[in-house]
Amino acid sequence: MAQEKRKFGFETRMLHAGHIPDPVTGARAVPIYQTTSYVFEDTDKAAQLFELKQYGNIYTRINNPTTATFEERIASLENATGAVATASGMAAQMTTMMTLLEPGDEILSSAHLYGGTVTQFTHTFRKLGITVHFVDPTNIDDWAAAITPKTRALYGETIGNPKGSILDIEALADLAHAHKMPLIVDSTFATPYLCRPIDWGADLVVHSATKFLGGHGNSIAGVLLDSGKFDFSSYATIANPDPAYHGLKFYETFGHYGFLMKARAVTVRDTGAALSPFNAFLLIQGLETLSLRMERHVQNAQAIAQFLYDHPKVDWVAYAGLADNPYHALAQKYTPKGPGAIFTFGIKASNPRAAGKEFIESLHLFSHLANVGDARSLVIHPASTTHQQLSDEELAAGGVDAGMIRLSIGLETLEDLLWDLDQALQATSA
């Protein structure tokens, strides 16, 4: 009697997926293959590799054994068919869109996005002949009304940065598929431990792996994942003969892996947005503790959000884990283990911008810097930093006000974080 193939749990895959002990040395940890290139067995083997007729290592700008382990592991955790790692989260977005789109195409996107993404979509993509339209992500009718014959993808963040809105992934996936286009989701703030967008119908997922996936603020990285379920036969960029690869038809040749092969063999190859093997190694270390870290991140975040909500000097708190938050129901659906560890709040003050500055400069444990998802707790004032390149109108559309303070809650002792926040609030002028 054939033995049923076991479906391993999240934590098991977090530690083992994509790797077996090194067959030559017996090394248990994933080795760092810090090499630019690889010796070919013979000229025929080399030709087959370059023609994509056989899988193997050619050049680390295209693939690398250490990076491949990270890609296979995160793909397993996201329930994806595969992944392509990139040099940053911004590079993952750029790789996705350059692989999918042609000049003249349009994207319809949530307005609740990281400021750098808004800038990339608005200005950099315009140089490539691609137009992005932004809508309020909370109203599915607004999405439907904004779709045009040129719209080629829907895009949003699982947990919007910095507003903390929760994307209705299932409803958007249904809308996208009704129009025969993919839904692309940035799930950086959620990680696959809290939400797997592919399970709710998303077709492509991107992460800034710099954040919670790495988890220690030591590596810049990104990753693109494909569900393998979307039919790209109507997308010329994937289905038509590719002049950049000897007329190869990626979707016909590679099927459910066609999009990722095009992204790797053409877009990453030609843009050079490759992840370094050493950073891939550090990301693998991060993945090995992902569930443990996210549990503590969310536990601390929920307690701190409630503390600030009840604090007399706090005007408002935007965290979907709070019962009266407008996104609470969506959070319970898509992130039942908790809606991440990043949220915003405002101080009661006649001059919120000045009060925010005073508050940040009074903190001791929270690091004031432009990152999130670190093991350490972080703080920033988005309007003057991460979103400073946006106009007042763009800030308002993204849900950012002048006094907004963003917290990224770390793994420190909860009581110490509460003490630090309270003493900084007490030191802040009314």
Name the band, by pLDDT with cuts 50, 70 and 90, for residue 284: very high
Looking at the predicted structure, is the pLDDT value of residue 3 above 90? no
Confidence of residue 430 (pLDDT cuts 50, 70, 90): low
Paired tokens of 294 = 């996210």
- Percent composition of the chain: helix, strand, coil (DSSP 3-state, to 5): 40, 15, 45
CB 339 within 8 A of CB 375: no
In the predicted structure, residue 154 carries a pLDDT above the cut 70: yes
Average pLDDT of the chain is 94
Alpha-carbon span 393 to 395, nearest angstrom: 5
Asked if the model's pLDDT at residue 1 lies above 60, the reply is: no
pLDDT given at position 387: 64
**For range 400-411, the mean pLDDT:** 88
Specify the 3-state DSSP secondary structure of 186. strand
Q: Could you tell me which residue, 227 or 404, shows the higher pLDDT? A: 227
> For position 200, what pLDDT does the model report?
98
| Domain boundaries defined on the chain | 10-287, 290-426
d(CA 99, CA 261): 10
Confidence tier at 336 by pLDDT (50, 70, 90): very high
pLDDT of residue 143: 98
Residue 386: band (very low, low, confident or very high) from pLDDT cuts 50, 70, 90 = low
Q: What percent of the chain has pLDDT over 90?
A: 83
pLDDT at position 4 over 80 = no
- The answer to pTM > 0.75 is yes
Whole-number Å distance between alpha carbons of 290 and 284: 10
Query: CA-CA distance, 341 to 189, in Å (whole number)?
Result: 8
Residue 75: pLDDT over 80: yes
Residues 315-334: tens digit of each pLDDT: 999 999 999 999 999 999 99
d(CA 84, CA 273): 11
Q: Over the stretch 78-102, which tens digit does the pLDDT of each residue have?
A: 999 999 999 999 999 999 999 999 9
Q: Which CATH class is domain 290-426?
A: alpha beta
Share of the chain above pLDDT 70, in %: 96
User: Which CATH architecture fits 10-287?
Assistant: 3-Layer(aba) Sandwich (3.40)
pLDDT of residue 263: 97
Residues 99-149 pLDDT 10s? 999 999 999 999 999 989 999 999 999 999 999 999 999 999 999 999 999
